Structure 1
Amino acid sequence: MAQYLNAATFLELARAAQTRATAPCTCTKTPLDGWQSQPLSLDEAQFEEIGTLLPEDDPEPTFSEYLPDKTTYWSADAPIAPRYFPYNRCAVWQCSSCRRLYLRYVEGGGYFVDRRIRAVRAELIEDVPLPE
């Protein structure tokens, strides 16, 4: 299993990645600011998994979502809240070329599986505690 990244470590990695990732790259051909089904054009070999937001000691993380200010799951400006769904089930991937970070997870339903991806923007990361 990939190394668990707590919110502080994840935010630090995201800030560093944003500082380095200023040039255009093939990984940015399709806008991925909000959740998207993974484009077929995305070159899987260009990415490396660097961590996970799924804690080892949490066998069934919450399905509760954190969507303040009328944001939706699909919104480009929706907060990235690592303790909430779907982020608590995400792997953190990095483009080996430009060093940008992406979140990826598999959405599963009764008759389908959808690999989803979202670009990480450090300013959207919020470490919001779960309700008691």
Structure 2
Amino acid sequence: MAQYLNAGTLIELARAAQQRAAASCECTRTPLDGWQSQPLSMDETLLVEIGTLMPEDEPEPTYSEYLPDKTTYWSSDAPIAPRYFPYNRCGVWQCSSCARLYLRYVEGGGYFVDRRIRALNADLIEDVPLPG
């Protein structure tokens, strides 16, 4: 299993990656500021998993979402709250060509599976504790 990344480590990695990221790359053909179904045009061989937001000691993370200020799951400005769904089920992946970071997980329903991806923006990461 990939190394668990807490919110502090995630912010550090995201800031470093944003400073190093090349202006353009094959991975940036489709804007991924908000959640998207992974584009078929994205070359998966460029992506390397560098960590996970799913803690080993939590076999069933919450499905609660953190969406303040009328943001929605699909919003490009929705906060990235690692303890909340869907982030708590994400792997953190890096483009080996340009150094950009992405969050990825598989959305599964009764009759479908959808690989979802979102660019990791350090400015949107919020370390929000779960209620209770």
Question: How would you bin the TM-score normalised by the shorter chain?
Answer: over 0.9
CA RMSD in angstroms, aligned pairs only: 0.5
Q: Which ranges of structure 1 fall in alignment gaps of 5 or more residues?
A: none
1:117 aligns with 2:123: no
Letter in 1 for 2:46: Q
Letter in 1 for 2:88: N
1:25 to partner: Cα distance: 0.8
1:23 to partner: Cα distance: 1.5
Q: Is the 8 A contact 2:66 2:85 kept in 1?
A: yes
Q: Is the 8 A contact 2:22 2:99 kept in 1?
A: no
What is the aligned partner in structure 1 of residue 45 from structure 2? 45
Letter in 1 for 2:40: L
Q: Which runs of 4+ in 1 moved over 6 A?
A: none
Query: Identity over the aligned pairs, expressed in percent?
Result: 83
What is the aligned partner in structure 1 of residue 92 from structure 2? 92
Q: Is the 8 A contact 2:51 2:91 kept in 1?
A: yes
What is the aligned partner in structure 2 of residue 79 from structure 1? 79
1:14 to partner: Cα distance: 0.3
Summarize deviations over 1:10-30 as a string: whole Å, max 9, x none.
110000000111421110000
Q: Which ranges of structure 2 fall in alignment gaps of 5 or more residues?
A: none
> How high is the TM-score relative to the length of structure 2?
0.99
Structure 2 residue matching 1:17: 3-state secondary structure? helix
Structure 2 residue matching 1:131: 3-state secondary structure? coil
What is the aligned partner in structure 2 of residue 16 from structure 1? 16
Structure 1 residue matching 2:115: 3-state secondary structure? strand
What is the aligned partner in structure 2 of residue 65 from structure 1? 65
